[in-house]
Amino acid sequence: MSILVVAEHDHSTLKSATLHAVAACGKLGGDIHLLVAGHNARGAAEAPQLAGQLAENVAALIVNIAGPYSHIVLPATGFGKNIAPRVAASLDVAQVSDIMSVESPDTFIRPIYAGNAFATVQSKDAKKVITVRTTAFDAVVPEGGHAAIEDVAAPPGFEGIELLGQELTKSDRPELTSARIIISGGRGLQKGENFKMLEALADKLNAAIGASRAAVDAGFVPNDYQVGQTGKIVAPDLYIAVGISGAIQHLAGMKDSKVIVAINKDPEAPIFQIADYGLVGDLFEIVPALTAELSST
């Protein structure tokens, strides 16, 4: 039995999501093969048509080499979610999305209903196509590798789709979905410019900035800051909720965080019920004090 992990990378380095996906495979057992589908990536599959990593091309390549593998594993990121179902349908197998746990080689636990229930599912297909919730598995340490590197030929490029460009949001901050620490602001911030206060704290902690739907609705910050059932679902090591009351839809997006800190002036705010460390008080005093405390020690 061997496993094919499809690497997420930028043609020079592996993205951390790959390391989490590999970690999940450790629990499946069997040889792990890593497919690096790219261009000028010194990796396995090399072809100009793979430069854009379009689902049509990457999926076709995976399907071509899928023969010997029992499992085909991708991270449940924008990259993996785009490609995996295309692979699964081409192989006429079901896909198991967003697994959080490996119970056995054919049985997995995955969240449904925005994490309000966990389903244990068993795949009846000979091949399992899986995407892995990266926050659920600790990353493997990328060192000491000794695997052979083998080239595979890429199938011809898919006609009918062309990558025109990418506009990556310019930010030195980590991405919301992969940040180890997230600081989120809610309606309690009162206006968009008060998010600057959170930025100062985020700089200290190398944290990403998020927001509740209320803050996004009020126009304080753009949509892509939104953490919640309809926004980003995050599970960082540390989630600091500032001026967020804790509507159920928000909790759905962050309650898997390993440690939750809540700062709110209303002691009855539901956010405190799930916070490991709650601090009741005026966020306009607490946040600067916290930034200062982290600077001083």
Partner 1 sequence: MSTYHAPLNDIRFVLNELAGLEQVGKLPGYEEATPDTVEAILEQAAKFASEVLDPLNAVGDREGARLTEGGTVKTPTGFKDAYAQFIASGWNGLTKNPDFGGQGLPQLVATAVEEMWHGANLAFALCPLLTQGAIEAIELVGSDVQKAKFMPKMVEGVWTGTMNLTEPQAGSDLAAVRTRAVPQADGTYKLYGQKIFITYGEQDYTENIIHLVLARTPTAPEGVKGISLFIVPKFMVNDDGSVGARNDVHCVSLEHKLGIHASPTAVLAYGDHGGAVGYLIGEENRGLEYMFIMMNLARYSVGIEGIGIAERAYQRGLAYARDRVQGRAPGLDNAAPTQTILQHPDVRRMLLTMKALTEAMRAVACVTGSAIDHAHRDPDPAARKRHKAFVDFMIPIVKGCSTEVSQEVTSLGIQVHGGMGYIEETGAAQHFRDARITTIYEGTTGIQANDLIGRKTARDGGTVARAILGECTKVAIELSKSADANLKAIGAELASAAEALHGAVDWVVASYGAKPRAAHAAAVPYLKLWGVVAGGWQMARGAQVAARRLAEGKGDATFYRGKIATARFYAESLLPQATGLARAIAGGSEAVLALADEQF
Partner 2 sequence: MKVLIPVKRVVDFNVKVRVKPDGSGVDTANVKMSMNPFDEIAVEEAVRLKEKGIASELVAISCGVAACQETLRTALALGADRAILIETNAELQPLAVAKLLKAIVDKETPQLVILGKQAIDDDSNQTGQMLAALLGWPQATFASKVDIAGGKATVKREVDGGLETVAMVLPAVITTDLRLNEPRYATLPNIMKAKKKPLDVVKPDALGVDVAPRLATLKVVEPPKRKGGGKVADVKELVAKLRSEAKVIS
Which residues lie near partner 1 (CB under 8 A)? 245-248, 266, 268, 270
98 forms part of the interface with partner 2 (CB under 8 A): yes
Q: How far apart are alpha carbons 5 and 23 in whole angstroms?
A: 10
| Complex with partner 1: residue 282 or 293, whichever CB lies closer | 282
Q: How far apart are alpha carbons 185 and 241 in whole angstroms?
A: 6
In the bound complex, what is the minimum distance in angstroms from residue 276's beta carbon to partner 2?
Answer: 5
- Rounding to the nearest 10 degrees, give the CA dihedral for residues 76, 77, 83, 86: 40
| Complex with partner 2: residue 29 or 278, whichever CB lies closer | 278
In the bound complex, what is the minimum distance in angstroms from residue 273's beta carbon to partner 2?
Answer: 5
| Complex with partner 1: residue 174 or 246, whichever CB lies closer | 246
Whether residue 41 contacts residue 61, with contact meaning beta carbons closer than 8 Å, is answered with: no
In the bound complex, what is the minimum distance in angstroms from residue 217's beta carbon to partner 1?
Answer: 8
Kindly tell me the burial class for residue 162, based on how many C-beta atoms sit within 10 Å of its own C-beta (0-12, 13-18, 19 or more): exposed
In the bound complex, what is the minimum distance in angstroms from residue 142's beta carbon to partner 1?
Answer: 43
Kindly tell me the burial class for residue 172, based on how many C-beta atoms sit within 10 Å of its own C-beta (0-12, 13-18, 19 or more): exposed
In the bound complex, what is the minimum distance in angstroms from residue 232's beta carbon to partner 2?
Answer: 10
Q: Which of 156, 127, 122, 7 is nearest to 67 (CA)?
A: 127
Which residues, numbered 58-77, are part of the site for partner 2 (CB under 8 A)? 59, 77
85 is in the binding site of which of partner 1, partner 2, none (Cβ under 5 to 8 A by kind)? Answer: partner 2
7 forms part of the interface with partner 2 (CB under 8 A): no
In the bound complex, what is the minimum distance in angstroms from residue 245's beta carbon to partner 1?
Answer: 6
Largest CA distance in the chain: 61
| Complex with partner 2: residue 32 or 271, whichever CB lies closer | 271
What is the distance of C-alpha 162 from the center of its chain? Answer: 25
Binding test (CB under 8 A) with partner 2, winner from 217, 248, 266, 282: 248
Whether residue 176 contacts residue 208, with contact meaning beta carbons closer than 8 Å, is answered with: yes
| Complex with partner 1: residue 138 or 268, whichever CB lies closer | 268
Binding test (CB under 8 A) with partner 2, winner from 169, 193, 196, 219: 169
Structure token pair of residue 116: 């309000």
Structure token pair of residue 211: 């927001």
